[in-house]
Every structure is written in C-alpha cells, then in structure tokens.
Structure 1
C-alpha cells in the first residue's frame, strides 16, 4: 500500500493524544496528523515482547504431550506461528491509514451495532488472556517473594492498570526496553537448555503423526491470530505516509520471531522434563546454568506478563468503549479511559479468583476457541481492507449511525456467520470434536475453512456494492466539527473527495 498525504504532508506530533498531559487522552477517536509520531521499527520490539511471555512457551508444550518428537514439535509451532502472524501483521497497516483503533474499524464491515458480534469475542480474548497472565505471574512471584494470591493479584493488576491508563507511549517504551533484557536473559537460558537438557524420545518413538502435527500447528496459528485484534491500537499514531511494507514487516518480524523462539524452547523443555510447568521449568533450567539465574528469569518473565496485561487492558477498554458507543455516544476523555480500564481490571480479578487451580491446564482449549471466533473476523476485515475498499474509508461515517455503514451491515455479518458455521464440523477440542475432525482422526483444519469461506463469501456479497466517498477528519485535537445528531460532539466532519472548498482527502492505494 502506498499512502499519499495532503500536499503539506502529515505533521509529526510529540505525544499520544495529548497536548500538555502525560496521560493519553484519545481512545476510540481518530488520531489527527498533528498527533502522529513514532518510528516504524518500534513495532518490532513492541510485538517481540508482547509475544515473549510464558503463555507463549506453554503452547510449545503441546507437541511432546501429544507424542510428537522434538523435531516435529518445533516444526509445527514454527510453521503455525509464521502462518498465524501473517494475518496479524497485515492488520498493522490499517492503523496508520485509518488513524483508528483496531476493532472500531470493523464497523465498516459489520455496521455500528453489528460489530458487537466480533467485539464480544475480542473482549473474551482480552479478559481470558489476562486471567491466564495474572495467575501465571503470581505463581512466578510466589516462588521467590512472600504474599498470598489475592495480594499479588491486586498488585499485578494495579500496575497493569496504571500502565494502561498512561497509555500508548508508555506501553511502547516499556515493551521496547523489555525486549533487550529478554533477549539477553532468554538467549542464555536457551543455550543452557540446549546443552544441559536430555531430550527423551516420546512414546511410540516420535514418529510422524499428522493429526497431532495439525493440532499443534492450529494451536500456534490460533495463538498468533488472536493478536490480530490488537495491532492497529499500537500503529495508529504512526504518520499516515509510512511505507506499508515496513509496518507489516516490523510487526511480523517481532511477533513471529519471539513466538517461534519461545514455543520452540517450550517444545525442547517439554521433551526433556516430565510434565513441565512453565514457572518450574524456567527456574530449573536457569538455575542449572548459574545458581539463581533461573529465579531471575522467572521474575523477569513475571514483569513481562504485567506488560502484556497492560496491553490487554488497554485493548479491552478500546473494544468495550467501541461497543458502548454504538448505543450511547462515548466522548474520548481520560475519565472514560480510566473507567473502562478499571472495569476490565475488576472482571479479571474476580474471574481469576473464581477459577480452580487447574485452570491453566485448559490453556490450549482456550487458544483453539480464540481461533474459532477470530478467524472469520480477520478474514472479513482483511478482505474488506485489501480487496473490497482497498484502504479507502469514510472515517467520519464510522462514527455516524446514519452513515453508509449503518447499524447492521448484512454482508459482513453473513460472511462471519457462514464462515463460523462452516468451521464447526472441523472443530477438535477436548470437549467437542466435529464429525469431519473425527473422521480425520482429530485433526483440526477449521482455521483454513473459516478463512476461505468467510473471505471468499464476503467478496462475492460485496460485488456491485456502492462504495462510500473516502474522507478523513480535518480537525485539531478533540475539536469536532458538528455533523449533526447525537454523534456530532465526537464525529468531526471530514473532507470527502469532491467536496468544494475543502483540502484534499487522505488517499491511499493498495498494491
């Protein structure tokens, strides 16, 4: 995609949605040119650290537990991670072009209220991940530090809330600096694991089993696809004219690189240690290298989990605000952001307390459920952006219930529903196996079915559809030009193509 800005070019700002405050003030609203800032390469370390958490390593445990050899397990997670990241990374290009968070863009495909369907699935993903993360981080800290479960839940969730409230720029800064430390520590840990661990042959000799291979591939792919709902949230402040290839590449390199590394390390550990736990495994392997090194690695891993908890809380707030805004206009204020992040934190805290201690044992089923719900959405969203509208949207209309996107967009909703229904016979989990998956010996290829059915059907349904005039708001920060109705106070009037007397709209062409 190539972006063409206004004649004078985008103005680089110096802060994330703020003028004189350290706290980000924007939420679901459009980021104007004078607030765009940041460097494209920052997407790389952000997504490297975003993926470099113990839950990623747990995904690597799956292959050996199913009887795959180390080699086949590593191949399955690497291919799955690379495949899933492909879809995630292409969403990164939407942020600079549209200047909006990831999920609110779905209104163009599903309608203002129809988008509630994917919104609900996404909030489930955010909350579920944070529940896993706070439980895992607490276990890590309790191996070294005193304090009960409730105490550490409050502390960890509280720190994540503060980071999320300060917002975009602080999250980028924390993730970027954690990258350097994580690479150094886990580089040593990986070498130590490769040298010191005695890999055991799985039952059956570790022969090729395509059913197990596909299960592991799907789990790794689903884990990566789940990050698709995050991406534009952290690229939307980039200048609109940044090269698409660079945004996509840096996102892909960071996310795929860390996932392939940590999942492979998980496969190595699970091939050597009986019934490994993420915390115990990291501590044991590290302490075998240098006494205390494993303990430090566990503490660092817990800190990294707090970072991604903040990222999850931030995204959950944006998605929830987008859902509420479809029924009652939401002003993009700091108070709204604090309320949304606080509400999500309470839900995570209560859910984590209510779950049994063996909840982490259901992690792979959770990943597969994410895959099932998110695959039809990513297929529709990417197909619309790259093949139907080709990156040309009316940003103003995304906030207007009377605009061309409407409240209920039947094409996107139909493509999602049909794609999801087509996947059901291919589902393969511990609690449900579809008839086709059962005939295939438990192999799960539902993701491929969902991608193809939802994507192709959406293109077919959009044939002959009249496309809206693309526009972008042209206002100073938080100054909306009334467009009429209840949405006037936060849907600034855009300059659409052909409008007399306005400046040229931001246009871009997908290549």
Structure 2
C-alpha cells in the first residue's frame, strides 16, 4: 500500500482535477473527507436513469400489468436495498473497498472466488448499459452502434481513472440535470403525452404469479448487485459516522429512485407499448414540444455516464484485489489506469460480440447477477453483523499469513453449498421471446416461480454461521486491541 502522494493530496483537498491516490488500500482518518449528506443523493442517482426504466419493461413483456409491475418492482427494490445499505455501513468503519473486506470470510487468496462473481456483475451491468444506449441512440438518431459504444465506454473509463472525488461531483451535477427531466416526463405521461397508440387491452395484461415473482427478483437483484460497490464510495466518510444514519441515507436514496423509475417504465410499457426507454423518452418529449424529445434523450444519456464510470471504477478495484491476492502489487495510479484499460477492452469486446435485444439481455444478466451475489452477500453480512460484529484486524487483510490465512474454507464452503442448493430453484427466462433458458426441477414444480435467491440467502448465511462457531474470536480481539492506525498504514507497504 503506498502512502499519500502529492497527487492524492491534491484530490483530497479539492485543489483542481487530479487522479485519486488511493485504490485498494486503507483510507487514513486524516484523508476521510467524504460527507454523509452526499450518500443519499449519490445512490439516488445510482438508480435514477433510463436503465432502471428498462427494468419496468420486464413485467409487461411477461404479461404483467403496469400496476402489478410497479408493486413488484417497488417491493423488490426495497428488499434488495436492505442488503446494499447494510454493506454501506462497513465503509467508514473499516476504510477499505468492499471486496478487500471479504478476505476475512474467504481468505487472502480464497477471495478470488467472490471476486469472479462480482467482476461478472460490474462488467454485466455495463454490458447492458452500453447495449441499451446503443439501441436507443440508433432508434432515435440513427447513430452507428460502434462509435456510440466507444464514446460511452471511454468517458466512463476516464471518470473512473480520476476516481472518487470527480465521480461524486459528476453524480451531483447529473442529478441536478436529470431530476427535473424525469419529473417532467412523469407528469407528462400522467396527462397523456405520447399515448398515440391505444394502450394494451386489459385482457392481455393483468396479474401473473410467475411474472410478478420474476419482476420482484429482478428488482431485488438490481440493488443487491450494488452490494459490492457501496463501501467503495463510503470508505472516505469519517470513522465516527453514525451507522444507522448511513444505512438510512443509502436505503432511502437507492430505493426511492428505483421504485420511481421502475414504476415509470412499467407505465411507459403499458400506455405507450414501449420496449426502448430512450425511444419512449423521445416520444413523450416530442409530444410536449418539437425537439424536446431529442433533448431529453441526449441529457438522459449524458446523465447516465457517471453510472458507467461507477461500474468501471469498482471493476478496477475488484481486478486489482484479485491480482494482489495472487501476487502482491503496489496500488499506484499506473496500476489503476492499466486495470481500467483492460476492463474497457473486455467490455468493448463483449458489447460487440453479444447479440439480442437490450431488454432480453437485461433480464438474463440481472437474474444471473442475483444468483452469483446472493451467497456472497449472505456470508459477508452474517460475518460482519453476527459473527465478528465489525471487529477486524485490518493489517491482516494484506497478508496470506495473518489471522485470516490464504484460504478460509468456512466462507468458501458456505458460498458453494448455498449456490449448489440454489440450482434446482433456478428459473431463467428470455424476456424477449418468453422462452425458458434454464428452469430447475423445483422451479418447474412451482410453475416457474423463482425463489432461488431466498434459498441462497438462507443456506449460505446459516451454513457460515454454523461453521463460524469454531472461530477463536477472543484471540482475534486480543490481536485487534493492539493495532494502531500506523500499523494499518504500514501493513500494505510493499
């Protein structure tokens, strides 16, 4: 772990534009310049964009009415945000990125298992993000997909390179621009703007148990998928930040905007028979004023670019953590740039090679994200809140020979057992065609209702809790009691 460099101190003081000096290392108390007041708006914008609108299209595409889709989406978002918000409280208390903390449950090298799952999430999110932008801008403006993909991915990469402070500023300005935009769109849709074609007949859209469960699971997975991110953006908060206030700020910000956008998307799908969020925005805006639709699309895409950066930034932290778990590295600005370059090239290759509609890809990727992340989030939260209760020997995160060792079989076994138990409950459906991609035997007995994530949460969490009974927590506490911040700062020096 490198010390605070001049370039890092420039970023911390806000004196101009500078590359963040920290990445996977510990944030000293003297550098904790984050503000609790920024967390709610930051995570509000995290869901306040046309990607979340597209999640509201899934229910109607499966035969669910807008009203039921709105309810399923709101309940799912709130459920998923609970896990996300509790992860967020770990940031200021430990001053570390989320996945470094997971070494306590999986081991210095064993954490690679969880890292592979989370890296899939970060790249998967951006894969859907860029695909939706490409489709939308092609449908609205006729733009060629390749230049759009390159431009969007490049801007996200640049923001991620500069890091934490610039990204927080970008989120702030994006929220100021997009809040009036989506308020206008919501009011306009309520009063009939863009309805043109007749809404779907009531007989074709109603309540469907499988569709309701699918919409709930997708909405829940959307915010559970933020769980590996949250500490990355709360670790600059002062250590004394009140835990419940931070949890409340993250929960309210992420769940309110998520419920709003999913509901708005559901009504767009039903009233406008829309299947593309940007096209729907263009249609509503054009119905209000000539040219306004195109402006709404452009502003919406620009306001979304910080979210591309969010995924790229956390993917960079995950990749560096994975490399460091195999071979210790110095988390220098050069390392972060190289990691972001690799992630950018991987994302571009995936975007250009994948075929299919954005909504179908969104549905499949979000369900897979949920399957991969649920066992990890159960293990991590059980360890933090019920086993070790927030007490960790932070210097031991940076060595395979410390308290947590190279391999922690308790966490690894709990993850694998939970994932294996989920497989019979898997229900993956292509939202574009409505055809089953994979339906497990138990899911077939349940008529396609997906409760795999509930099984994963319960089995992984309980398995880890039972296996952790053999931990010598008293010995760990004695080690922790003798640790000073100077020891933490020195522990990562290489």
Q: Which residue of 2 aligns with 1:55?
A: 51
Are the counterparts in 1 of residues 282 and 294 from structure 2 also a CA contact under 8 Å?
yes
Query: What is the aligned counterpart of 2:485 among 470, 474, 479?
Result: 474
Contact kept in structure 2, 1:95 and 1:236, CA below 8 Å:
yes
Q: CA deviation at 1:464?
A: 3.3
- The match for 1:5 is none
- C-alpha separation between the residues in 2 aligned to 1:21 and 1:59? 35
Structural mapping, 1:92-491, within 5 Å: 92-142=88-138, 148-196=144-192, 200-201=199-200, 204=203, 206-358=205-357, 360-430=359-429, 431-467=437-473, 468=476, 469-470=479-480, 474-475=485-486, 480-481=489-490, 489-490=493-494
SS at match of 1:402: coil
1:366-406 deviations in whole A, cap 9, x for unaligned? 10000000011001101111110000001100111100111
Residue 203 of structure 1: CA displacement? 6.1
Bigger mean CA offset, 219-228 vs 268-277: 268-277
Task: Give structure 1 stretches of 5+ with no counterpart.
Answer: 1-12, 491-511
**TM-score when normalising by structure 1:** 0.88
How far the C-alpha of 1:207 sits from its partner, in A, is: 4.2
Render the CA deviation track for 1:169-228: whole Å, top value 9, x for unaligned. Answer: 010111112112211110010111121165735564644332221111111101111011
Contact 2:76 2:219 in 1 (8 A): yes
Per-residue deviation at 1:143? 5.6
Whole-Å Cα distance in 2 between the matches of residues 147 and 65 of structure 1? 26
**Superposed CA RMSD:** 2.2
Equivalents in 1 of 2:73, 2:143: separation in Å? 36
1:509 equivalent in structure 2: none
Cα deviation per residue 1:414-460 (whole Å; 9 max; x = unaligned)? Answer: 11111111111111112110111111110001111111111111111
Q: 1:497: which partner in 2?
A: none
Deviations 1:125-169 (A, max 9, x none): 111111222232234445666753322222222211111111100
More displaced, 318-327 or 448-457?
Answer: 448-457
Supply the distance in 1 between the matched residues of 2:449 and 2:89 (Cα, whole angstroms).
33
Contact 2:222–2:366 at 8 Å: present in 1 too? yes
**CA drift at 1:363:** 1.3
Please give the secondary structure, in 1, of the residue aligned with 2:357: helix
**Greater mean deviation of Cα atoms: 348-357 or 15-24:** 15-24
More helix as a share of residues: 2
State the alpha-carbon separation in 2 of the partners of residues 360 and 92 from structure 1.
29
Deviations 1:95-153 (A, max 9, x none): 00010001111100011111111100111111111122223223444566675332222
Q: Distance in 2 between matches of 1:402 and 1:359?
A: 45
Q: Per-residue deviation at 1:20? A: 9.4
Query: Is the alpha carbon distance of 1:363 and 1:463 closer, same or farther for their aligned partners in structure 2, counting shifts above 3 Å?
Result: same
Which secondary structure state, in structure 2, belongs to the residue aligned with residue 429 of structure 1?
strand
Shift of 1:246: 1.3
Q: Provide the C-alpha distance between the structure 2 equivalents of 1:130 and 1:70, rounded to a whole number of angstroms.
A: 26
In the superposition, the TM-score normalised over structure 2's length comes to: 0.91
Tell whether 2:28 aligns with 1:32: yes
Between the aligned partners of 1:85 and 1:241, the Cα distance in structure 2 is 23
Unmatched runs of 5 consecutive residues or more in structure 2? 1-8, 430-436
Closer/same/farther in 2, CA of residues 320 and 473 from structure 1, 3 Å limit? farther
Q: Structure 1 residues 204, 360: CA separation in 2 closer, same or farther (over 3 Å shift)?
A: closer
Asked if 1:45 corresponds to 2:41, the answer is yes
Give CA deviations for 1:299-353 in whole Å, capped at 9, x if unaligned.
Answer: 1221133211111110000000000001111112111111111110111111111
Deviations 1:443-480 (A, max 9, x none): 0011111111111111111113112232666249xx95
Bigger drift between 348-357 and 144-153 goes to: 144-153
CA distance in 2, matches of 1:260, 1:223: 11
Q: Distance in 2 between matches of 1:89 and 1:126?
A: 18
Count of equivalent residues: 471
Rounded to whole Å, the distance in 1 between the matches of 2:68 and 2:141 is 38
Q: Distance in 1 between matches of 2:134 and 2:265?
A: 20
The answer (yes or no) to whether the contact 1:140–1:302 under 8 Å persists in 2 is: no
| Corresponding residue of 2:433 | none
Please identify, of 281-290 and 94-103, the stretch whose mean Cα deviation from structure 2 is larger: 281-290
